[in-house]
Chain A
Amino acid sequence: MITASLFNSFSMPAFLADPSAGHGEASQHLAQLAEHAAQHPNAGPKWVLLIVLLPVLGFVLNAFYAAFGNKSKIPAWTTIALLATAFIATLSMFLSYEGTPYTVQAFEWFNLHYGDKSFVANFSFYIDKLTILWMLFVTGLATLIALYASEYMSHDIGLGYCRFFAAFCLFVFSMACLVMGDNMLMLYLGWEGVGLCSYLLIGYFYKKPSAVAAAKKAFIVNRIGDLGLALGVYLTFVHFGTVQYSELFANETLHTYINAAATGDFSHIPAQAQWIALLLMVGAFGKSAQFPLYVWLPDAMEGPTPVSALIHAATMVTAGVYLIARFYPIFLVSEHALPIVAWIGTITALLAATIGMAQFDIKRIMAYSTVSQLGYMFAALGLLSTTGAAFHVLTHAFFKALLFLACGAVMHGFAGQLDLRKLSGVAWMKGWGIVGVTMLVGCMNLAGLPYITSGFYSKDMILAEAFITPGYRMIGWILVFTAILTAYYTFRVYFRVFVGPQHAEPGDEHDDHDDHAHGEEQNHDAGPHGDHHSDHFHPHAPGWAINTVLVILACASMLSISLAYIQKAEHHGWVGSMVAESSASYHSPYAAEAHYAHVEHTDMHPVAGPVGTAAPGKVFGMDAHAGMILVSGLGAIFGVLVAAYFHGPKGWQGLFIGGRTESDKCRMDAIARRAGPLPRLAENKWFVDEIYAAILVTPLRIISHIFHWIDKLLLDGLVNLFGFLPRVFAWVIRPSQSGVLQGYAVSMAGGLAVLLFVVLVIVMNSGGAA
Chain B
Amino acid sequence: MSQQTVLLLALMIVPLLVALRIAFSKNPDTGYRPALITSWLLMIPAWKLIADFDFSQGATTQFAYSISWVESLGLNFSIGMDSVSLLLILLSVLLGPIVVMASKTAIVKDKRMYYAWLMVLQAAMVGVFAAQDLLLFYICFEFTLLPMFVLIRKFGSTNRVAASVKFFLYTFTGSMMTLAGMVYIVWFVAQPDQLGQWTLDIATLTQYASNMSMGEQTWVLLAMLAGFAVKVPLFPFHTWLPLAHTEAPTAGSVILAGVLLKLGTYGIYRFAIPLAPTAFFEYAPEIAVLSIIGIIYAGLICWVQTDIKKLVAYSSVSHLGFCVLGLAALNVTGFSGSILYMLSHGLSTGGLFLMIGFMYERYHTRDMNTVGGLASKMPIWATFMVFFAMASVGLPGLNGFPSEVLCLISAFQSDAAWSAAGEPGAWGSSLGPWFAVFAGTGMVIAAMYLLFMVGKICFGPLREPEDHHPHDELPTDLSMREIITLSPLAIGCILFGLQPTMLLDAISEPVNNTVVLVEQANGLESAPTRVDQMIEHADEHHESAATPDHHTPEGASHE
A157 lies within 8 A of chain B by Cβ:
no
Q: Which of B165, B390, B412, B451 contacts A238 (CB 8 A)?
A: B412
Shortest CB distance B69–A (Å): 22
B183 lies within 8 A of chain A by Cβ:
yes
* B182-226 contacts to A (CB < 8 Å): 183-184, 187-188, 212-213, 215-216, 219-220, 223
From known contacts A112-B333, A114-B512, A206-B375, infer whether A765 and B529 are also in contact, taking CB-CB under 8 Å: no
Minimum CB distance partner of A212 in chain B = B459
B181 lies within 8 A of chain A by Cβ:
yes
A141 lies within 8 A of chain B by Cβ:
no
B461 lies within 8 A of chain A by Cβ:
yes
B498 lies within 8 A of chain A by Cβ:
yes
A637 lies within 8 A of chain B by Cβ:
no
From known contacts A751-B173, A758-B180, infer whether A719 and B239 are also in contact, taking CB-CB under 8 Å: yes
Contacts of B220 in A (CB 8 A): 762
Instruction: Give A230 to B401 CA distance when docked, in angstroms.
Output: 11
From known contacts A112-B406, A751-B177, A762-B220, infer whether A207 and B301 are also in contact, taking CB-CB under 8 Å: no
B349 lies within 8 A of chain A by Cβ:
no
Contacts of B444 in A (CB 8 A): 220, 223-224, 227
A241 lies within 8 A of chain B by Cβ:
yes
Instruction: Give A707 to B302 CA distance when docked, in angstroms.
Output: 10
Are B176's CB and A113's CB within 8 A? Answer: no
Minimum CB distance partner of B181 in chain A = A758
* B348-407 contacts to A (CB < 8 Å): 373, 375-376, 379, 386, 390, 395-397, 401-402, 405-406
Contacts of A270 in B (CB 8 A): 534, 537
Q: Which of B179, B413, B448 contacts A220 (CB 8 A)?
A: B448
Are A766's CB and B180's CB within 8 A? Answer: no
Shortest CB distance A232–B (Å): 11
Minimum CB distance partner of A761 in chain B = B219
Contacts of A159 in B (CB 8 A): 379
Instruction: Give A103 to B499 CA distance when docked, in angstroms.
Output: 20
Are B213's CB and A769's CB within 8 A? Answer: yes
Instruction: Give A528 to B115 CA distance when docked, in angstroms.
Output: 53
Contacts of B528 in A (CB 8 A): 116
A711 lies within 8 A of chain B by Cβ:
yes
Minimum CB distance partner of A770 in chain B = B213
Contacts of B504 in A (CB 8 A): 110-112
Are A762's CB and B396's CB within 8 A? Answer: no
A738 lies within 8 A of chain B by Cβ:
no
A481 lies within 8 A of chain B by Cβ:
no
Contacts of B505 in A (CB 8 A): 111
Are A758's CB and B219's CB within 8 A? Answer: yes
Contacts of B406 in A (CB 8 A): 112, 119
Contacts of A239 in B (CB 8 A): 531, 534
Shortest CB distance B381–A (Å): 14
B437 lies within 8 A of chain A by Cβ:
yes
Are B376's CB and A700's CB within 8 A? Answer: no
Q: Which of A111, A116, A220, A752 contacts B529 (CB 8 A)?
A: A116
Determine the main DSSP class of A at the interface with B. helix
Instruction: Give A235 to B408 CA distance when docked, in angstroms.
Output: 10
Contacts of B462 in A (CB 8 A): 207
Total chain A interface residues with beta-carbon distance under 8 A = 88
Minimum CB distance partner of A702 in chain B = B304
Contacts of A740 in B (CB 8 A): 165
* A228-285 contacts to B (CB < 8 Å): 230-231, 234-235, 237-242, 252-253, 256-257, 268, 270, 272
B455-490 CB contact bits vs A (8 Å, 1 = yes)? 100111110000000000000000000000000000
A514 lies within 8 A of chain B by Cβ:
no
Q: Which of B168, B300, B426 contacts A707 (CB 8 A)?
A: B300
A716 lies within 8 A of chain B by Cβ:
yes
From known contacts A219-B451, A751-B173, A759-B180, infer whether A238 and B409 are also in contact, taking CB-CB under 8 Å: yes
B538 lies within 8 A of chain A by Cβ:
yes
A437 lies within 8 A of chain B by Cβ:
no
From known contacts A112-B333, A711-B239, A758-B177, infer whether A193 and B501 are also in contact, taking CB-CB under 8 Å: no
B443 lies within 8 A of chain A by Cβ:
yes
Contacts of B458 in A (CB 8 A): 206
Instruction: Give A751 to B538 CA distance when docked, in angstroms.
Output: 58
Are B177's CB and A704's CB within 8 A? Answer: no
Are A109's CB and B304's CB within 8 A? Answer: no
Are A719's CB and B396's CB within 8 A? Answer: no
* Residue among A112, A113, A705, A761 facing the most chain B CB atoms (10 A cut-off): A112
Are B216's CB and A762's CB within 8 A? Answer: yes
B547 lies within 8 A of chain A by Cβ:
yes
Minimum CB distance partner of A712 in chain B = B239
A92-117 CB contact bits vs B (8 Å, 1 = yes)? 00000000000000011111111111
A43 lies within 8 A of chain B by Cβ:
no
* Residue among A108, A268, A743, A748 facing the most chain B CB atoms (10 A cut-off): A108
A196 lies within 8 A of chain B by Cβ:
yes
A668 lies within 8 A of chain B by Cβ:
no
Are B177's CB and A113's CB within 8 A? Answer: no
* A678-709 contacts to B (CB < 8 Å): 700-701, 703-705, 707-708
* B416-453 contacts to A (CB < 8 Å): 426, 433, 436-437, 440-441, 443-444, 447-448, 451-452
A655 lies within 8 A of chain B by Cβ:
no
Shortest CB distance A134–B (Å): 19
B508 lies within 8 A of chain A by Cβ:
yes
Contacts of A231 in B (CB 8 A): 408, 412, 436-437, 440
Are A189's CB and B437's CB within 8 A? Answer: no
Instruction: Give A253 to B542 CA distance when docked, in angstroms.
Output: 12
Instruction: Give A239 to B532 CA distance when docked, in angstroms.
Output: 9
Shortest CB distance B433–A (Å): 7
A188 lies within 8 A of chain B by Cβ:
yes
* B496-527 contacts to A (CB < 8 Å): 498-501, 504-505, 508, 511-512, 515, 526-527
A508 lies within 8 A of chain B by Cβ:
no
Instruction: Give A764 to B249 CA distance when docked, in angstroms.
Output: 46
Q: Which of A114, A223, A272, A518 contacts B447 (CB 8 A)?
A: A223
Contacts of B508 in A (CB 8 A): 112-114
B33 lies within 8 A of chain A by Cβ:
no
Are A189's CB and B396's CB within 8 A? Answer: yes
B44 lies within 8 A of chain A by Cβ:
no
Contacts of A465 in B (CB 8 A): none
A642 lies within 8 A of chain B by Cβ:
no
* B235-249 contacts to A (CB < 8 Å): 236, 239-240
Are A235's CB and B433's CB within 8 A? Answer: yes
A543 lies within 8 A of chain B by Cβ:
no
Instruction: Give A230 to B407 CA distance when docked, in angstroms.
Output: 12
Shortest CB distance B206–A (Å): 18
* Residue among B181, B304, B406, B500 facing the most chain A CB atoms (10 A cut-off): B304
Contacts of A651 in B (CB 8 A): none
A203 lies within 8 A of chain B by Cβ:
yes
Shortest CB distance A243–B (Å): 10
Minimum CB distance partner of A751 in chain B = B176
From known contacts A235-B412, A705-B304, A748-B172, infer whether A253 and B461 are also in contact, taking CB-CB under 8 Å: no
Are B213's CB and A212's CB within 8 A? Answer: no
Contacts of A111 in B (CB 8 A): 501, 504-505
* A68-82 contacts to B (CB < 8 Å): none
Q: Which of A123, A521, A719 contacts B461 (CB 8 A)?
A: A521
B539 lies within 8 A of chain A by Cβ:
yes
Contacts of B500 in A (CB 8 A): 109-110
Minimum CB distance partner of A740 in chain B = B165
A371 lies within 8 A of chain B by Cβ:
no
Given contacts A234-B405, A769-B215, 6 further A-B contacts (CB under 8 A): A119-B333, A238-B530, A252-B538, A744-B172, A759-B183, A766-B188
7 closest A-B pairs by CB: A241-B531, A751-B176, A755-B180, A189-B396, A704-B300, A114-B332, A716-B239
22 sampled A-B residue pairs with Cβ under 8 A: A109-B501, A114-B332, A114-B515, A115-B426, A115-B512, A159-B379, A206-B376, A206-B458, A242-B531, A253-B534, A257-B538, A521-B461, A703-B300, A705-B304, A708-B305, A743-B165, A748-B172, A758-B223, A759-B187, A762-B184, A762-B220, A766-B212
